[in-house]
Structure 1
């Protein structure tokens, strides 16, 4: 007779139904596994530098084509503020919009988490996150963007660490010091100074609500780019504050009546430069398109810093032959670009950004006069016409005005055009950027490159966030461009021409080097005669940077 061990009595009373026993048993197993997973993610979270939460995001730096530091962008007015400098109405707006239970939860809002989990199960994807302010702070401090279960669990573990290490007031302050507010603004103080020209502590209720409102879409709802959208977000914040009991209807109406003191466009970017502001605008487009919100970016550009600085210095001094001892009202614009890639190597939109932020390189449309002749020659060759040197009208008549306008537009010159035979003599207006692009087509075998400043963007760790993809379209045939450049060299003895309009109100200089094209325009904002033809040509020629 074999021995059998006695059955151990069950720890669960016999009257408990079998299905309940099964749920209890596997529930305990699941709880134990969840405990182990929690320990694992707490261990991972312990590896992160908790002090990073309180540190300021680094400023972004502009590098030229050789890697030389050219300038800083974003962060010139960045400053960490204290809890005492944050208006109470901003705190209330932030709670109403982002996390009304912030003072009472432990960093993870269980109610919100359950609601988001059920929604994600229903949608079969991570469409909602139920992120508290502390969770958003963790995500922004450690750059966790991927939507995955692993990221969410790690974020929650980091959130618990932050809540344990910092007080609620410190968390709130660190959040507002770090979060991205659009237009390159990291932190509420930089946003307040950039958008409203005043410190956070002096913002009124309407301005506070607007800043809070744009947090969810900092690129889309920047008041500089989308005023109506920013106002709509402000009103949504007011509606939430009403629901949460932070403001009454009467107080909201009074707040909406307050003036929002947005910095005027002419005063934005004071202390900057034409090229820096051009890069800033290009950067904003890329940040929005690729949803880049990090600070500490390294912006690798096509600029040649030494050439840029030389042109800045030249234009800041009196122009020889036209000015005597001091800089007057005479203006100038410069564009130098890589003819093959379209990368801008230098740009001056005027002689002093401080005195006039109007970027003439982009926006000034001035008569070309005789400077149009090489382009007329190129489009005549494109249609197989006979180019008669020094006889622009006879050359142009073979094309006709409508065809000449159509082909000139293909070169990137948008006009306005004089719709008569005066067009052939240069009765067409262009900006310096358009002239640089048209000249690049002649220098680049008829190919039209894409103008750009930014080659690539990397983050603090050197990870590449963006890279420019080169591209060019064939504007005219290679032989048309080549023949036009040959005629320039024959007429001027080199691939460089300086011409002055008949009225001596505008002067243009174009120089084509081995691979780059440089354009200089000289004139007054309110057109008037600069001097004699020879004086103006000599003055412009003195501005070339060799």
Structure 2
């Protein structure tokens, strides 16, 4: 009597409090966002649940049979609840003295996954049974099986058979073999326990159990079973399980969430086509790690030699590379290991760039009418700072003074005092205006110490700014996304490269030529190992706490930063030249291998003439300097060349040495 009343209640009263199964009429699981690289190859997906919906017709018979044999052999004959299956489960569990088999049908499991919580109460089991019956009344068996196979969890973030096939075997579900199908079919019961990645032997035993069950119900023959059971696990190799470009992809995800909201990004099935170069990204990660490990080794040896305690805090770093003609970010590494620290130092960390900021000062000077051959006095100077006039005495890295120097020499050798005097002469606001035009958005201090890179910038800002020099003065907004499609393939967003003129092509070439001198003779000379024309600048801050190198060829600009998350010394003499250049050079040599060696094109309106690098020496040490036509010195060491013929050999433009300016705010001694 009690059972009858309970049954009436369960199938007449209880359904009123349950969700309607009609909501599944147009069932399609939520779909994550697919992310593609520059070659339109799939890189990853953003999802709450990693799932790729696959129609039943595309799922191999072996996998469907394996699932049915394992989970619900009477699936095509019961009405949602299987009394015989329940009875069998009770018997098996009693015989083994523990839970070895569940009584839920595939339809009941689907009802639980779609509508109910995972608790194991009697109330939940009753609801599960009622919903299963309702599902069977409304949908065909094939439709229910399709929903089930696309919904269940297989471990390691994979929901549904397609995601599982790609996760474990790196292939579409339609290509699975019998052995692979049997392995997948054994996972839903306990994905962690039978994980082939973590517990290979347990996974093999579970696969054998599934194959035996398939043989028992007549889905396979004995010889097929033996061959499949003897097959070695052929899984996705460990190196392919870990997606490269995690910092890059996280950056893309954050942009998408800001633009479209998290719900659409993780559930809306967007298709995002990025600017990511998989080859460059892989090499960027490898070379940065190699460089950081080399630094650690040097520090350990130095500590051992000094009898000091070993340094335990690992240095961090970032590498960013951009196509200067488009602004496309080709590779981005924000740290040594994304899985240990998701903080993206390429875009989120603001640090003093040191001497890497100096090109902005010299650009402002060129715009004010000075030239690479203009002369500044490198001699002691003192500035009154603040209301009490506290003195600030900028110093050079080597604590030496050189007397009169050309702007070319001052930039090449990263002479601090010269940069401050040039800054004072041309005006701080001119320099800040240059930085803004070149895409710098971080706050900048309005004091003379900004010439030495005292204001914090991101690697993205600095690398993008240098990119404008490579692009003949046109700044391209850096972007990681080419275009975005919705789930139906409709265009939502397209980022067509659009430049903003920041400098004249002539002036951009002159500063680029000056920065080539940094590599040919100055603080960036180690980058000559690349064996092709490079314009670049090093940067090192007080106590060697930040090491920078930003350099570019005509078609690629790359920036490297190395430091600690909590600023502290990298070690004595660990400058941008010693720490950052080797990383930069190794990366650029790898990604540019096999490409034509090209120099920077000389625009019309620019002449290149030989001028002595040191004023007052006649033509003892002539070097090529670039000038906007008409501004070249009259006493050059040889004839001028212009346009495409501009390659010659160096007298001195005798601009008066700058006086001793007053009034600045405190800065600090910066290293080259």
Give the TM-score range, shorter chain: 0.5 to 0.7
Bigger drift between 293-302 and 386-395 goes to 293-302
Query: 1:379·1:408 contact (CA, 8 Å) conserved in 2?
Result: no
Q: CA separation of 1:78/1:290 partners in 2, compared to 1, >3 Å: closer, same or farther?
A: closer
Q: CA separation of 1:280/1:293 partners in 2, compared to 1, >3 Å: closer, same or farther?
A: closer
* Structure 2 Cα separation of the partners of residues 466 and 437 of structure 1: 22
Q: Deviations over 1:407-436 (max 9, x none)?
A: 322222234434332222222221101111
The residue aligned with 1:473 is 500
- Aligned with residue 360 of structure 1, among 341, 345, 355: 345
The residue aligned with 1:68 is 41
* Structure 1 Cα separation of the partners of residues 448 and 245 of structure 2: 43
What is the DSSP-based 3-state SS (H/G/I as helix, E as strand, rest coil) of the residue aligned with 2:549? strand
- Aligned with residue 287 of structure 2, among 299, 314, 318: 314
The residue aligned with 2:66 is none
Query: 1:320·1:542 contact (CA, 8 Å) conserved in 2?
Result: no
What is the DSSP-based 3-state SS (H/G/I as helix, E as strand, rest coil) of the residue aligned with 1:398? helix
* Structure 1 Cα separation of the partners of residues 477 and 444 of structure 2: 24
Give how far 1:164 is off.
5.3
- Aligned with residue 455 of structure 1, among 460, 479, 482: 482
Q: Deviations over 1:176-198 (max 9, x none)?
A: 979xxxxxxx99xx9xxxxxxxx
* Structure 2 Cα separation of the partners of residues 541 and 272 of structure 1: 22
Matched, 1:532 2:572: yes
Q: CA separation of 1:84/1:282 partners in 2, compared to 1, >3 Å: closer, same or farther?
A: same
Q: CA separation of 1:412/1:461 partners in 2, compared to 1, >3 Å: closer, same or farther?
A: closer
The residue aligned with 1:280 is 253
What is the DSSP-based 3-state SS (H/G/I as helix, E as strand, rest coil) of the residue aligned with 1:366? coil
Matched, 1:397 2:370: no
Aligned length: 339
Give how far 1:394 is off.
2.6
* Structure 1 Cα separation of the partners of residues 575 and 365 of structure 2: 32
Q: Where do residues 195-206 of structure 1 align in structure 2 (5 Å cutoff)?
A: none
Q: Where do residues 40-55 of structure 1 align in structure 2 (5 Å cutoff)?
A: 53-54=26-27
Which 5+ residue runs of structure 1 have no aligned equivalent? 1-50, 91-102, 107-161, 179-185, 191-269
Q: CA separation of 1:516/1:163 partners in 2, compared to 1, >3 Å: closer, same or farther?
A: farther
Q: CA separation of 1:403/1:353 partners in 2, compared to 1, >3 Å: closer, same or farther?
A: same
The residue aligned with 1:302 is 275
Which 5+ residue runs of structure 2 have no aligned equivalent? 1-23, 54-108, 119-130, 153-158, 164-242, 301-310, 373-406, 411-417, 521-533, 590-672
What is the DSSP-based 3-state SS (H/G/I as helix, E as strand, rest coil) of the residue aligned with 1:480? helix
- Give the aligned CA root-mean-square deviation in angstroms: 4.3
Query: 2:540·2:575 contact (CA, 8 Å) conserved in 1?
Result: no
Q: CA separation of 1:509/1:163 partners in 2, compared to 1, >3 Å: closer, same or farther?
A: farther
Q: Deviations over 1:317-363 (max 9, x none)?
A: 46254212899420101111111221111111111111111111112
Give how far 1:463 is off.
5.4
User: Structure 2 length normalisation: TM-score?
Assistant: 0.44
- Aligned with residue 516 of structure 1, among 546, 556, 561: 556
Q: Which has the larger radius of gyration?
A: 2
Q: Deviations over 1:500-535 (max 9, x none)?
A: 224211111112122221111111111111123366
Give how far 1:294 is off.
7.1
* Structure 1 Cα separation of the partners of residues 296 and 484 of structure 2: 42
* Structure 2 Cα separation of the partners of residues 472 and 318 of structure 1: 34
Q: Deviations over 1:221-247 (max 9, x none)?
A: xxxxxxxxxxxxxxxxxxxxxxxxxxx
